[in-house]
Amino acid sequence: MNSNFESKSFLSNRIKSFKGTVFDKQRSKCSAKKMAEAGFYSLQSDSDLVKCYACGIEIQNWSKSSDDPWSVHENQSDCCLYLQLKKSYSQELTVKEFLEVEKYRFLRMNRKIYDQKSVIFKQVLEKIQNLSKDQQIVLTADENNVIKVGVESK
C-alpha cells in the first residue's frame, strides 16, 4: 500500500528523486524540475536513467544541453496518458485527471505482471508435456528476479 502511495505520482517526490544526480544542478532543459514535470523520476543516482511514473518508459543517455524531456518522452511513448492530459510543463492535472492517470498506471503495471506470468505459465506447460515420472518442475529466480523454469530429477 505505502510503496504505491508514497509514489512518484506526486511531482514533489519525483523532484526529490533527482537529488544528487546529474540533473540536480542543471539549469538547462533537463533540470530536475523539468524532468519531474515531464513525468520522470530518477532510477539510479549515479546514472541518467529515468522512468516515467505513468507509462513506465525508461530513458537513458540524455544530452543535457539539447534534449527537451517533454518531446523526448512524447517521441518514445506516444500513448502516455500523463502527457496527453497534461499537455504542457506548467499545467497542473485536475484531481479527476490525476486519478485517471493513477488508474492507467495500475492497469499498465498489472498488464506487465500478467504478461510475465503468462510467459512462465507457457514454459511450465511445455515442460510438463515432456516430464517423466521421476522429474519435477523447478522455478528459480536469478539475481534480477527473472523466473527460470527448470526440470530436475526427484
Binding site for Zn ion (CB under 5 A): 39, 52, 54-55, 77, 80
CB 104 within 8 Å of CB 84: no
Cβ neighbors of 147 (< 8 A, separation 6 or more) are 116, 120, 139, 140, 141
Choice between 83 and 149, CB closer to Zn ion:
83
CA–CA distance, 133 with 154 (Å, rounded to integer): 9
Choice between 15 and 80, CB closer to Zn ion:
80
Minimum CB distance to Zn ion, residue 89 (Å): 14
Choice between 79 and 151, CB closer to Zn ion:
79
Minimum CB distance to Zn ion, residue 77 (Å): 5
**CA dist list (Å): 95 to 8, 45, 76, 99, 139:** 16, 31, 26, 6, 43
CA–CA distance, 137 with 129 (Å, rounded to integer): 11
CA–CA distance, 43 with 17 (Å, rounded to integer): 8
Choice between 72 and 80, CB closer to Zn ion:
80
Minimum CB distance to Zn ion, residue 97 (Å): 14
